[in-house]
Structures are given as structure tokens and as C-alpha cells.
Amino acid sequence: MSWKKGIAGMAATLLGLASVTVPAAADSRDDLVNKQNQQEETLDALRDSLGNVDQKLSDALDQLAATQAKLPAAQDAVDKANAALASAQRQSELVSARLTAAQGELEQIRGDIAAADSQISDSKAQLGAVARAQYRGDTGPGMAEILLGSASTDEFLSAYSASRTLARTESTTFTEVSRARATSQNRQSRQEAVEQEVSALKKEADAAVADEAAKKKTAEDKKKDLEGLTSSIQKTSSSLESQKSQINASIDTTVASQNETKAQIQKIDAENAKAAAAAAAAKRSGSGSSKSGRSSGSNSGGSASNSSGYWMITPIPGPLVVTSPFGMRVYPFDGRVWMHNGVDLRSQCGQAQRAVASGTVVSTIPAAGNSTHGNQVYVNLGNVNGHSWVVVYNHLSGFAVHAGQKVSQGQTIGYTGATGKVTGCHIHFEVWRDGSVINPMSLPGF
């Protein structure tokens, strides 16, 4: 049970208390005084509840302010996380571009090496052909043939130079291609080292991106939690404000009812004073009509004759089994905390419930429109041992008495039932002393 539900239930209970009419005869001054006392107690309870709500509201507003104060820092953390992630992503993109370039250059070098290998292969083939031709003697005119075939010295030198140039060209081409291939192989080794280094940097950059993304999510989650907490506190504050308004309205209603009760008591006091003055005047004039003031309607009370020796007996014969005690409890239908004004006792459906003492039936209220109480009986036991006593029976299946009827102790007043909002047949029994409920189980004999 959360404190919010507890406060809500208490507020509802107090609102209900504010509208309770103390069961008593309409013209009984004592009962009106008791009603006035109960109203004052209700006001005290309402004010206490209002104080509790005010405190909860103040705490909620403090918590709201503290939470909202954290939001800018949370937003700043999100912004920094976004910036760090963007920076990491840019670094990753740069490294990725370097890696792409390095891989492209490496592919170019490998292409150059392949071309050189092809050219070397061709040169080797040409040199081999020359060597084989020379071996066979068909590589071209020999020295004697050039000499004999030349018409002049210049022609001889030109033919000889051409033959030598061809041989040198073949040899030089092979040498240069072999040197270029070796250079490309060196470049490939260096480029492979660069590629490995850039690949390692790419892994580090990707890891940095993942790390910054995780930090960003953490920051965003924290901000989201703070925003959710802010919304929750705002809803709680709104609910507390509503409860505060309800309690204030209930206080206003109770004060108005209290003023009305006070006016009724003043009216009865005035009538009693007027009747007493008339009786005194009549006595002085010797009229013989000694008319007393209005009675409060209370019974004289005293000890009743029963085997237990107590003036009040239990509503059913014992032993009693308490199924729900007197006091604050969780209401089974909505989970709110309510004041349980009476005690619930185990009793089978249809069992006769009896008057716990002699008195007058104030009212019998049918279940229809009677909220959770069901069929209900109020009995005024009068003034006993200096206190005014009223007892209440709820959830009856039927009545055995009617309003205004005098009842004797032990007389059946109704039968156990499950009317109203209940979970099964049982007795709900309340005792009101001087306008306030007390725990029936605290009485002698219970």
C-alpha cells in the first residue's frame, strides 16, 4: 500500500465521516451535543489529514524541484555524449578513408608487379629465342657475312652497330624490368605494413564509436528516467492538490453542519428554559400545573439483569470470533485504507441478532441507497454510567423491529445477512459513546 493510496483512502473516510448523522432522537439535546462533539472530532481529523496532505504535497514539490534541477545537467550530458559520438564517427570515417586509399594503392602496386612479371616473362622469352638462334647460327649475319656483304666501310659499321644494339636492347630491357619488379615488391611490403596499421586504427575507431554510442544511450536513459520521475511527481502533486481541495470542502461542509447543530441545541436550550420558566411561574401562581421542561429522551440506564453481570451483552451468544477488527484497515474492494467503525463477527446467514441492552430503535434503514451498510438498525441505549450510548447493526438480511420501538435486552432486532457491499454473511456491530465510535471488543463481556 503506497502512502498516496493511504492518504486517498483516509481522505475518503474523513469525507464520509463529515456527512454522518449521529443516530439519536431529533429532539434530544444530549444527542445533539454528542453530534456536536463528533463533528468537532471530525474537524480535528480532517485538519490532521489536511496537514498530512500539505506535508506530502510539500515533500512532492521539493522532490519535483530537486528532480527538475537535475534535468539541465542530464541534457548537458546528452549533448556532450552526442558530440563525442559525432567526433568518434568522424574519426572512424577518416580512418576508413585512409584504409580505402591504402588498399587502393596496394592493389595498384600489385597490378604493377603483375605487369612487370608479364614483361619479364616476355623479355626472358625473347632472350631465350636470341640465345637459341645464336646456338643454331641463324641469329642474323655473322661478322664475316657483314664484312663480305658490306660495300663500304660505313655500311659495315652500320650493320655491325645494329646487330650489337639489338643484343644490348634485349639485355637492358630485361634488367630494367627486373629492377622495377624488385622496387614494386619493396613498395608492396611497405604498403602491406601501412594497411595493417590502418586496419588496426579502424578497429580502434569502430570500438570508440561503439563506446560513445553506449555512453550516449546511458545519458539519454538517465534523462528519460528524470523526465519520467518529473511526470510522476507532477501527477502525485496534482492528486494531492485534488485531495486537499476535497478535504477543505469537507471541512467547510462539517463546519456548516456543526453550526446547524449548534443552532438546534440553542433552540432546544431556549425551549427548555422557556418551559422551565413557565413551570416556575405556574408554581408561584399556585396554578397547580407543574409542567416540566422537555426531556432529553434518554433512558436512565443502569445495570441490566443478565447472567453475565454486564449491563451490555454481545449481539449473539459467545464465544465470539472476530473476522475483521475495529480500526483502520484496507478495504477489500478497492485497496484503500478506511476506518472500520465497528467489529465484524462470524455469524451464519439468518442467525438472530439481539439488542445488547434495553433502549429505543432510532431508525431502520433499508439496504437500497444505503451505500455499503446494507440493512441497518440504530438503537439508542440512553444514558448509562454518565455516557450516552448508541449501537448500530449493519448488513442484516431483515428487520425484526421498527423505528420508535422500545426493545428489551436480548430481544431480536434483525437477522444476519450479506446486504450492502460485503464478501459474505457476518455481523458488523458498532458502539457509539458520547458521539464517538469505540472498539466493542474493549467492553466488559466482549
Is the pLDDT assigned to residue 70 strictly greater than 70? yes
- DSSP-based three-state secondary structure for 196: helix
What are the C-alpha distances in Å from 81 to residues 64, 78, 291, 328? 25, 5, 94, 52
Q: Which residue stretches of 286-300 are H helix?
A: none
Is the pLDDT assigned to residue 292 strictly greater than 50? no
Q: What is the pLDDT of residue 343?
A: 94
Is the pLDDT assigned to residue 377 strictly greater than 80? yes
Confidence grade of residue 443 (pLDDT, cut at 50, 70, 90) = very high
Confidence grade of residue 348 (pLDDT, cut at 50, 70, 90) = very high
Q: What is the largest CA-CA distance in the chain?
A: 196
Contact 214, 81 (CB under 8 A): no
Q: What is the pLDDT of residue 26?
A: 40
* Euclidean distance between CA atoms 301 and 384, whole angstroms: 5
Q: What is the pLDDT of residue 185?
A: 73
From the list 407, 417, 430, 234, the residue with the least C-alpha distance to 324 is 430
Selection from 15-24, 137-146, 326-335, 410-419 with the highest mean pLDDT:
410-419
Is the pLDDT assigned to residue 21 strictly greater than 60? no
Q: What is the pLDDT of residue 266?
A: 59
Q: What is the pLDDT of residue 278?
A: 83
At 157-189, the pLDDT tens digits run 665 565 556 566 666 766 776 776 677 677 677
Contact 358, 409 (CB under 8 A): yes
Which residues, at least 6 apart from 41, have a Cβ–Cβ distance to it below 8 Å? Answer: 435, 436
Q: What is the 3-state secondary structure (H, E, C) of 300-361?
A: CCCCCCCCCCCCCCCCCCCCCCEEECCEEEECCCCCCEEEECCEEECCCCCCEEECCCCEEE
* Euclidean distance between CA atoms 78 and 73, whole angstroms: 9
From the list 353, 433, 432, 445, the residue with the least C-alpha distance to 392 is 432
DSSP letter at 90 equals: H
Q: What is the pLDDT of residue 397?
A: 97
- The total of other beta-carbon atoms located within 10 Å of residue 33's CB is 20
Q: Which three cell numbers stand for residue 72?
A: 539541465
Q: Which residue stretches of 137-152 are H helix?
A: 143-149
At 133-164, the pLDDT tens digits run 656 655 555 555 555 565 666 665 665 565 55
At 214-265, the pLDDT tens digits run 887 888 898 888 889 888 888 888 888 887 777 677 667 656 755 654 564 4
The more confident residue out of 74 and 99 is 74
Q: What is the pLDDT of residue 251?
A: 67
Confidence grade of residue 18 (pLDDT, cut at 50, 70, 90) = very low
Confidence grade of residue 272 (pLDDT, cut at 50, 70, 90) = low
Is the pLDDT assigned to residue 323 strictly greater than 70? yes
Is the pLDDT assigned to residue 267 strictly greater than 90? no
Contact 432, 22 (CB under 8 A): yes
Is the pLDDT assigned to residue 326 strictly greater than 50? yes
Q: Which residue ranges form the domains of the chain, and what is each CATH number?
A: 1-289 (1.10.287.620), 322-442 (2.70.70.10)
